[in-house]
Amino acid sequence: MRTFIRILGLWCIVLAAVVTSAQAETGQFGLGLYGSVLQPVGTFKNWYSTSPNGIAQLTYVVSPKTMAEVEFHYAKFKDVGLKDREFIWHNGSGVAQKSLVKSPNAKAKMWMGSLLVNGVRSFKADKPHGGVPYIAAGIGFYKYRHDVSGLIWPGQSGTAIKTDSQNMLQPIKDYETALSMNVGLGAYFRTSAHFVVDMRVRWNVSMGQLRSFEDWGLLQTFPLQSVNFMVGFKYLK
C-alpha cells in the first residue's frame, strides 16, 4: 500500500508539472525508446556484472533548452559468479579444517524496475541537424527483487562437507522499493522536425540495500550504485 501511495503521489506531481508547463508555453510531447547497458559500481559490482536494460520515456519540451521526462526502466542483472566464491571452513576436522569450500549450485538473481522523473537542460538552443549537449538529473523509485540460493552452510562440522537440505543456507528473497536519484551528461541530435537521436551517460544511486554474506567476502551493499550507457531515439510531435 505504501508503494502504491508513493507511485500515485509521484504521478500527481508529474501531471501537475506537465499541466502547469503546458499552460505557460506550448511544447512538443514525445516518446523515447533506449537500449542501454548498466554497470554496477562500488560493492554492487561484487554481486552482478554489466547487464543490458531497456528504457522507455515520455517527454515534454518545456522550452528550447529544457525537457521533462517520465521514465520507465527495467533491468535483469547477470550473476558475477557466486558459485565460484569460497568460504573458510573453520569447523572442519583434521585436514578439512580451514579448507576452502565452494558452493557449486549457488546463484544470485536480481531484477530492477523504475519510475523516474527527469529534467534535461541543454547547454545551447535546439536546432535542426545539429548536436546539442546537455545535463540531466532525476528522482523517483526503484523496485527490485534479489534472490540468493544454493549456498552451503559454513557452520557445519565434520571431516567432509555435507550438501543435504539441512546443511544448506535457506534461500533469501528480498523485495524492496527505494528512493533513487540520477545525474548524467549527454548529447542529442535532431535529425528532423520530429526525430531525435539521444546518447547519455548516467550515474544512478538507489537507497536500497543488499544484505551481507561475510563468509563469502560479500559485505552489505548500500546504496545501490550503477552507471548507465544509453543510446536511443525520441519521436516528438
195: its cell numbers:
526525430
Domain boundaries, the chain: 2-83+105-156+171-236
pLDDT digits (tens, 9 = 90+) for 5-31: 454 455 444 444 433 333 323 478 999
pLDDT digits (tens, 9 = 90+) for 140-159: 999 999 999 999 999 998 88
Which of the listed CATH numbers 2.40.160.20, 3.40.50.10260, 3.50.50.60, 2.140.10.10 matches domain 2-83+105-156+171-236?
A: 2.40.160.20
Contacts of 92 (CB under 8 A, 6+ apart): 98, 99, 157, 158, 159, 161
pLDDT digits (tens, 9 = 90+) for 117-141: 999 999 987 777 778 999 999 999 9
b or e along 181-190 (b: 16 or more beta carbons within 10 Å of the residue's beta carbon)? ebebebebeb
**pLDDT of res. 7:** 45
